[in-house]
Amino acid sequence: MWSLAWPLALLALPLPLILRHFLPEAKGLSEAGLRVPNVDSFSTLKDRSGREQLLNWRFWLATIAWLLLVLAAARPERIGEELDVPVAGRNLMLAVDLSGSMDQKDFELGGRRVDRLTATKAVASDFIERREGDRIGLILFGERAYLQVPLTLDRETVNILLMEAFIGLAGEKTAIGDAITLAVRRVHEQEKDEGDQVLVLLTDGANTAGEVQPIKAAELAQQVGLRIYTIGIGAEQLEVASLIGGRRRINPSADLDEDTLTEIAALTGGRYFRATDTASLQDIYKLVDELEPVEEPESGFRPVKSYYFYPLAAAVGLVILMSLVSLLQRLALRWSREVHVNGS
C-alpha cells in the first residue's frame, strides 16, 4: 500500500502561481543586440514564435521539476504487510535430577513401564518445544550440579542434550541446594531487564549432597528474583516381589522431601507440584505453561520503506538539464557573434 508521510506538503503545489500573481513583475533587462541581416543561424533565435516555443519548453520542464520536488517533500512510502513482532521472553532454567533413585521404574509411557528419567525426558521435551521465545537453560544435578546448556533460544539443542543425559552422570546422590545456587549464579550474570527469571526443578529425593543447603539457596534465589517451581516425582505405591513369595506394596517415594520442596517454592513465589505418574507430570508442565505463559507476538507492525529520493533525484536532474541547455545556448550565441564580428 502506497502512502504519503507528510501529505500536507502538497499544499505547496500552487505556490509558484500565487507568487506570480501577487509579486510585481521583474523589470526586463535590455541587452544590446547586434542586427545581422542574412544570417540564417540567428533567424530562429529572433523569431518570436521560436522564443515562445523555447519558453513553453522551459516552462513545462520547470513545472515538472516543481511537482517532483513537492512530491519528494510529501515523502511517498510503501507500507508492507502486517508482521508479528516477537517479544522478549523470560529466562527459564530447567534443573533435572540424575541421581541413582531416578532409575526406579514406577512410571508408564506408551503402555510400558519406564524409569523416572525416561518419563521426565518425554514430558520435559514437549514442554521445551512449547516455550517459543524463552531463553532456556539446562542444569543436570546429582552429587554435583552442572550447567549443561546456558540460557539460549536454541530449543533444539536443549532438547538434544536433555535426551543424552543418563542416570549417574552427575553422581548417585542429590545436591538440590547446589542446583539452585547454580541457577542463581546464572541469573545474577544476566541483565536485570532481560525478562522474568524462572527455575523448574525436578527431583525424586532429598538433599543428600552439596555445599549449600536448599533453604539457604532458596533465600539467595529470592534476593535475585528467581521464581522456583519444584516438582516431586515418584509413584506413591509400587508392587514388588516378596522374598517369601507373592507380591507386596511399597512406597518408592519414601525419600522424597516434600516439606523442603514446598518451602523452596513458597520462599521464591513459585509452587510445589507432586507427580505420581506420567499423566500428572504432563499436567504439571501444562500448569507451569499457564502460570508462566509464553509471550504472544505483537501484531500490527508494518514495515515502511520511503521512496522520496526518486522524485527528488528526478527534479534535481531536470534542473541540471535546464541549466546545461541554457549554458550551451549562451555559449553558442556568444560564439556566433564572435564569428560574425571577425568575419565582417
Q: For 57-75, give the DSSP string.
A: HHHHHHHHHHHHHHHHHT-
Higher pLDDT, 92 or 38: 92
Residues contacting residue 245 through CB under 8 Å, at least 6 positions apart = none
Q: How many CA atoms lie within 13 A of 222 on its CB side?
A: 14
Q: Which cell numbers hold the place of 119?
A: 518419563
Do residues 171 and 107 share a domain?
yes
Handedness of CA 108, 110, 115, 121 (dihedral sign): negative
Same structural domain, 71 and 199: no
- Residue 84: what pLDDT? 53
Task: Judge if 164 and 55 occupy the same domain.
Answer: no
- Do 177 and 288 have their domain in common? yes
Query: Does 32 map to a domain?
Result: no
One domain for residues 231 and 101: yes
Residue 34 forms part of a structural domain: no
User: Which residues are bridge partners to 141 per DSSP?
Assistant: 97, 145
Report d(CA 307, CA 304) in Å as an integer.
10
Q: Are 128 and 237 in the same domain?
A: yes
What does pLDDT average to over the chain?
82
Q: Kindly state the average pLDDT of the residues 111-116.
A: 91
Read off the CATH number of the domain in which 176 is found. 3.40.50.410
In a domain, 272, yes or no: yes
Contact 170, 146 (CB under 8 A): yes
Would you say residue 333 lies in a domain? yes
Q: How long, in residues, is the chain?
A: 344
Domains identified in the chain, total number: 2
Identify the pLDDT of residue 119: 94
Task: Specify if 293 maps to a domain.
Answer: yes
| Residue 73 lies inside a defined structural domain of this protein | yes
Span 199-237, pLDDT tens digits: 999 999 899 999 999 999 999 999 999 999 999 999 887
Looking at the fold, whether 176 and 274 belong to one and the same domain comes out as: yes
* Residue 254 domain-assigned (yes or no): yes
Tell me: do 44 and 125 sit in the same domain: no
- Whether the Cβ atoms of residue 195 and residue 88 lie closer than 8 Å to each other: yes
User: Do 206 and 126 lie in a common domain?
Assistant: yes
pLDDT more than 70, % of the chain: 79
160 φ, ψ (degrees, to nearest 5): -60, -45
- How would residue 318 be classed by pLDDT, with cut points 50, 70 and 90? confident
- Whether 95 maps to a domain, the answer reads yes
- Which has more pLDDT, 236 or 259? 259
Q: Are residues 164 and 97 in the same domain?
A: yes
SS3 135: strand
Q: Does the predicted TM-score (pTM) go above 0.95?
A: no
Residues of the domain holding 174: 85-299
Q: Are residues 331 and 241 in the same domain?
A: no
Q: How far is CA 102 from CA 180, 203, 214, 230, in A?
A: 19, 8, 19, 16
3-state per-residue secondary structure call for 236-274: CCEEEECCCCCEEEECCCCCCCHHHHHHHHHHHCCCEEE
The answer to whether residues 237 and 135 belong to one domain is yes
Cα-only R_g, the chain: 41
Q: Is the pLDDT of residue 61 over 50?
A: yes
